[in-house]
A = this chain, B = another copy of it.
Amino acid sequence: MDKATKIRLLNTMLRIRKAELQLAILYKNGKVPCAAHLYEGQEAIAAGVCDHLTHNDCLTSTHRGHGHCIAKGMDMKEMVAEVCARKTGCCGGKGGTMHLFKPDIGVMGTIGIVGAGIPIAAGIALAMKMKKTDYVAVSFFGDGAVNNGAFHESLNLASLWKLPVIFICENNHYATSVAVWRSTSIAKIGDRAASYDMPGIHVDGNCVDLVYAAMETAVKRARAGEGPTLIDCETYRIRGHYEGDDALYRKKDEVLEARKHDPIEYWKHELITEGALTEEEFDAMAAQADAEAEAAGEFAQNSPFPDPEEALMLTAKC
């Protein structure tokens, strides 16, 4: 990995982190009209995966998709404004925090139904294949999705048809209040790839270099027409399931322990020790990300709400 890439990955993680913290504040201040699911602590996955993608490559995501959109290249302003229900949001306020779209950069939707993005990503990959491109599709989903039929049916079909799709499972150990061991009969989710004669890779999702490397292999395979890969990224959901969730269903120390493995701290330390980064440079990057997030928050709050009547645009008239 060259230095530019290393720095870019760090920057992407920082930008996601700052955007989410900004949204946490906006939520507290009543600027977000509904509970939002924040991505803090999982930034290495979005960054490491999306760094391999161009705007021609597409992703589908989940209710916890802000980070994926930013990593894929969405303007932070558009994302934050959408979450704040403004007309200037990427979906004009129609979608909201769980429904972000930006097709021209390959964001084919963050989706509110667990697992629903998986077959859609397979279908996107099918189109890419039928059109004889070497583009790839990526589907992000959580550990909660791997026990849903959509996961099973889609991985089988993708393998059967050798579709250029990469399945990214973000195992953050919880699905709402349900710990992964309570819902999933197997210890390593990546092992389920074997059921579909598909490579399954298990990585520490808090180490961006490992995620990046796993994705490199998977993307190469997909672009070469050799089919899909399942990447099982182990991480931890630092915050509650949604803003406002007291998360009393888990032990405080568990969270404190997890915080020690912060993906940004890890990568910062790596880069500094190997001399690719100085504390000053890091602080500058962080400050810049902060400023961008602040500006996005400002932009959102200064943006108008949509007019009520806009609700009926795009609706089949009867």
Interface residues of A (CB under 8 A from B): 147-153, 155-157, 159-160, 182-187, 191-192, 194-198
Contacts and interface: CB of A to CB of B under 8 A. Distances in A.
A157 B185 CA distance: 7
Given A191-B195, A194-B194, A153 B149 contact: yes
The interface residues of chain A, by DSSP majority, are classed as helix
18 contacts: A147-B152, A147-B156, A147-B157, A148-B152, A148-B153, A149-B149, A149-B153, A151-B152, A152-B153, A155-B185, A156-B185, A160-B184, A185-B196, A186-B194, A186-B195, A186-B196, A187-B197, A192-B195
A184 B184 CA distance: 23
Contacts of A198: 185
Contacts of A157: 147, 185
Question: How many copies of the chain does the oligomer comprise?
Answer: 2
A150 B149 contact: yes
Most-contacted residue by chain B among A149, A155, A185, A194 (CB, 10 A): A185
A153 B144 CA distance: 12
Q: List 8 A-B pairs, minimum CB-CB distance, nearest first.
A: A149-B149, A152-B152, A159-B185, A185-B196, A195-B195, A192-B195, A160-B185, A156-B185
A187 B160 CA distance: 11
A195 B194 contact: yes
A186 B197 contact: yes
A169 B197 CA distance: 19
A182 B153 CA distance: 14
